[in-house]
Amino acid sequence: MGAWMDYFSAADDAVAAGQLDVGEVPGAVCGNGIDPAVMMGTLEALLTGRTYDDVRADPRQCALVAQEEDCAVVVTTLTDGVRDALAGASLSDLRVAAAAWGRTEEFNGEFDGDEDAGELAELVEAFADLSREARSAGHHLYCRISM
C-alpha cells in the first residue's frame, strides 16, 4: 500500500486543514514518495546549509495540521525555510541540490542515472515554482498525505 503526497500552499493552517478531504488539491505538486519530514528536511538542509538537526528542530517542520479519524489522510506543515530556500534558488542551484538530494540514502539509489536525475530536478523545480507563488502570496507550504 503506497502513500500519495500532494504539496500545496495555503494562507494558514486553518485553510490548509480544509484540504483534508477534497478530491484534488488545487495547484498542488504531486510528490509521491517524497516524505515531508525526512526527505524535505534533507532538501532544506542541502539548500540552506543548515544541519538536518536544525531543520528538524523548526516547529513547523512536519507539524500535524489535520487528520481524518482513521489517519488515512493527514495534512502537515513544511517550514518557511524550505519555502524561502526553494523560492530564492537559481535554476543552477536547484539542479545541484536535486543531484545531491538524489544521492541521499532516503532515495536508495533510485536517482543515479542521468534520466532519473533529470526527473528529480524537474520535481525540485516544480517545488520551487510552488514556493515562489506561496512566498509571493504570503502563504505557507503543506503536504497532504493520503494512504
User: Over the stretch 91-107, which tens digit does the pLDDT of each residue have?
Assistant: 999 999 999 999 999 88
Query: Is the separation of the CB atoms in 129 and 27 below 8 Å?
Result: no
pLDDT in tens, 122-144: 999 999 999 999 999 999 999 99
DSSP conformation letters of 81-102: HHHHHHHH--HHHHHHHHHHHH
| CB neighbours of residue 2 within 10 Å | 8
Using only the alpha carbons of the chain, give its radius of gyration.
14
pLDDT tier at 147, thresholds 50, 70, 90? confident
pLDDT in tens, 55-94: 999 999 999 999 998 889 999 999 999 999 999 999 999 9
Task: Evaluate if residue 114 carries a pLDDT over 70.
Answer: no
Q: How far apart are the first and last CA of the chain?
A: 7
- pLDDT at residue 113 greater than cutoff 60: no
Residue 76 CA to chain centroid, in angstroms?
10
CA distance 18 to 30: 18
Full-model pTM: 0.93
Task: Output the pLDDT for position 27.
Answer: 93
pLDDT score at 115: 55
Q: What CA dihedral angle connects 144, 4, 119 and 135, to 10 degrees?
A: -10
> Mean of the pLDDT values across residues 112-119?
66
